[in-house]
Amino acid sequence: MTSLAATLRDLRDRYIALHESKEDLFWSAKMGLAADVEATSRAAAEAEIALNRFLQDPEMLSRLRKTATDGSGDASERRTLQGWVAMFAANAIDDPQARALSERIVEAEAALERARGAMPLGYLDPVSGEHVLAGSNKLALMMRTDPDEARRRAAFEGLRSIETFVLENGFLEIVKMRNALGRMLGYEDYYDWRTSVVERMPKRDLFRVLDDLAARTAEGTRAALDAFARTHAAKAAPGEATMDGAAKQATTSPTAPWNFGFLRAGAITRELDPYFPFDQALSRWGRSFAALGVTYRGATLTLDLVDRVGKYENGFMHGPGPAFFADGEWRPARINFTANAVPGAIGSGLRATETLFHEGGHAAHFANILGDAPCFSQEFAPTSVAYAETQSMFMDSLLGDADWRVRYALDASGQPMPMALIEAAIRESQPLRGWDVRALMTVPFAERALYELPEDELTPERVLETIRGVERELQGLDAAVRPVLAVPHLLSGGSSAYYHGYVLAEMAVYQTRAFFLARDGYLTDNPRIGPDLARAYWAPGNAATFDETLRALTGSGLSADALVDACNRSVDASIALAHASVEAQRTRPRFEDAAHDAVQLDASVRVIHGTHLVCTTDGSDFATAASRFAEWVRGLVAARPS
C-alpha cells in the first residue's frame, strides 16, 4: 500500500466514525426516540462539534494540499485526494477563535432546538378559548382545509407564535454569532460565507439570479392576485355561500394569510383527498420509482412517516452511512428519511406522499454516488444545496402531472382521478404558479435581510418589521402564509442560509423536465429517467459542480427559462397539455404489480414509527410490506378521535 493510499484510508475511517456517530445521535434526537431528550440533544451537539473539529482543522487541509503537489499515487487515488481537499477546503477554519465560536454556535443552536421542542405549540380555540396543542403540520393543514375562518386564523396565529418564541429564546444571539463567524472568515456576513462555500457562488451573484426570477414573475403574479381578490371578494358577498360555506366564512380579506391558501385550494384539497389516501403512499412511491428505473444499489432505507409528539416537524433525509467504494468493494448507503403525515386529516395524504417522493428522491441520489470515498457522497459542503434539492424536487414534481394522476391517483374503489377534477385543480393552481415561486423566494430574501441588519438593529421588533416587508413585497399579501421564522431551516446550522437552494433547484427541475419531455415526450413511468439521472446527476456526487451535472444531461447550464414559461402559461394551454398527456399515456405500457414482486428497488426498506417496526422488505417483497403499511395506517385512522 502506498503512503497516499494509507492516508486516504485513514481519512475515510476517521471521517466515517465521526459522521456515523453524529448522524445516529441526530436521528435519535430529531425523532424523539430517547428517554432523556436533553441528554440526547447535548450528546448530538457534542458529536457535531467533534466532526466539525475534524473538518475545520487547517493543518489537515495544509497537509492534504501539500500531498496533492508531490505527484504520489495513481490517477484514482489522486482524484479521491482532490475530493478530500475540496471537503476540507469548504470547512477548514484557520483562526482558533473562529473555531471556538463555531462550537459555541452549535451549543446555542442545540439549546434553542430543545426549547423549541418543548414549546407548547397550538392554537386558541375560538369558541372555548382553550389552548389546543397542535404541531406545525396540523396548524398548516387547518389553514388550508378548515372551513371555519376563525379556526384558520387561530391556526395562523399559532404558527406565528413560533416567531416570537424563537426571537425570545436565543435566535438573535445565534444570528449575531453566525455573522461574527462569517466576517472572521473574510466574508460579508454569514449568508455570504455559506453560499460561497456550499454553492461556490458569492451571495451577490446568487441573488442576481433570484432578482431576475423575481422580476420575471412579478407582473403575472400581480395580475393573478388582483383577479383572485376580485373573484373571492365577490364570492364572499352577503347572502352567498360557496366552497362548503367557506366564502361566507371569509369575512376578512381573501388575501389575508389565513384565507388565501384555503380560498385558493381548500375545496380542491377536499376533492383531491380521496385520491391520495395515505395508506397507499408507500406503494405509489415504490411503483412509481421502480417504473422510472430508479434503484438504490443495495441501500438500507429507514422511513418514519407519521407525525407524533416529540418528532421533528419537517420532513428530511440524512445519510448516516454514505455510499462509496472502499478499496474497490461497494459499500451501500444507509439512509433515513421522514414525513409528518396526520392520518385521516384532509390533505395529509397528498402532503405526505409529496414528502415521501421528495425525500425518496434525495435517497436515490445519495445511494447512487459512485466515488471512492465518502467525501463525495455526504450531503453537506461542498455538496451544493441546489444540486441536492434538484433530485428530490424533480421526483415530487411528478405528482402534479395529469398522466401520473390518472395512473396512480385512485380512490378506494380503484377509480382513477377524473379529468374534470384534474382540470379543476389546474384552474385553481396555474394562475398563481408564479406566486408559488415567489413564496419560495420569500425565505432566502428574508434571511438575507436578517443577516444584513446592523447588529444594533437585531431586536425582535426590527426583525419582524424587516421580514414582514419582504413577505409583502414578494407575496403581495399582508403577511406570508407560512411565517418565515416558523420555517425550521433557519434555526439549524446545517440548514440555515439554505432555502435559496430550493429556488435554484426549481429552475433546474423544470429545465430537466423540459429536456426529458423534448426527448421522450413523457415523464410518468419513463424507464429511461432513472438510469439517465443516475449517470449524469447522481454518480459524480460533489466531484462535479451543480452546473456541470446540468450540462451533462441537458446540454445547458442553469436557466430559469423553462420555469418562467411554466409560470406564465395560460390555464387553457395547461389544460390542453394535461389532456394530451393523458391521451398519450393510453398507448404506453403500465407498470403492473401483477407478479407481486415487480417493484425491484434494490433496497432494504424499513418503515418505523418511533421504536415500532411497521413493515420491512427484509424476508419479504415490497408489495407485502406496502400492504402491511396500508393496514397499519388504516388502523391509525380508525382509532383517530372523531
Bigger pLDDT: 271 vs 235: 271
Give tens-digit pLDDT for 343-387.
998 888 999 999 999 999 999 999 999 999 999 999 999 999 999
pLDDT at 239 over 60: no
Alpha carbon of residue 39 to chain centroid? 28
pLDDT at 591: 83
Are 153 and 260 contacting, i.e. CB atoms less than 8 angstroms apart? no
Please calculate the CA angle 558-563-567 and round it to the nearest 5 degrees. 160
Q: What is the 3-state secondary structure (H, E, C) of 154-214?
A: HHHHHHHHHHHHHHCCCHHHHHHHHHHHHHHCCCCCHHHHHHHHHHCCCHHHHHHHHHHHH
pLDDT-derived band of residue 327, with 50, 70 and 90 as boundaries?
very high
Query: Looking at the predicted structure, is the pLDDT value of residue 589 above 80?
Result: yes
Residues in contact with 448: Cβ distance below 8 Å, sequence separation at least 6, in sequence order: 191, 203, 207
Amino acid occupying residue 271: E
With pLDDT > 90 as the criterion, what percentage of the chain qualifies? 89
Nearest to 44 by CA among 315, 298, 320: 320
Q: What is the DSSP letter of 590?
A: P
Entry pTM:
0.94
Cα–Cα separations (whole angstroms), residue 377 to 4, 153, 364: 21, 43, 12
Task: Note the pLDDT tens digit of each residue in 137-190.
Answer: 899 999 999 999 999 999 999 999 999 999 999 999 999 999 999 999 999 999
C-alpha angle 13-363-369 in degrees, rounded to nearest 5: 55
246 pLDDT more than 80:
no
Residue 249 has pLDDT above 90, yes or no: no
Instruction: Give me the residue spans of the domains in the chain.
Output: 3-55+57-92, 276-323+332-639
Domain 276-323+332-639 has CATH 1.10.1370: yes
Is 485 exposed, middle or buried (CB count within 10 Å of its CB: 0-12, 13-18, 19+)? buried
Q: What is the mean pLDDT of the chain?
A: 94
Q: Which pLDDT belongs to residue 597?
A: 66
Residue that has been written with the C-alpha cell 389553514 in this structure: 143
User: Residue 197 pLDDT more than 70?
Assistant: yes
Is residue 312 a contact partner of residue 488, using CB atoms and an 8 Å limit?
Answer: yes
Q: Is 244 helix (H, G, I), strand (E, B) or coil?
A: coil
CA dihedral 380, 381, 387, 388 (to 10 degrees): 0
Q: Which amino acid is at 75?
A: A
Query: Which pLDDT does position 642 carry in this prediction?
Result: 64
The alpha carbons of the chain give a radius of gyration, in whole angstroms, of: 24
CA–CA gap between residue 396 and residue 121 (Å, rounded):
29
Alpha helices, DSSP H, located in 476-557: 500-520, 529-533, 546-554
Per-residue pLDDT at 236 exceeds 80: no
How far is it, in rounded angstroms, from Cα 420 to Cα 424? 6
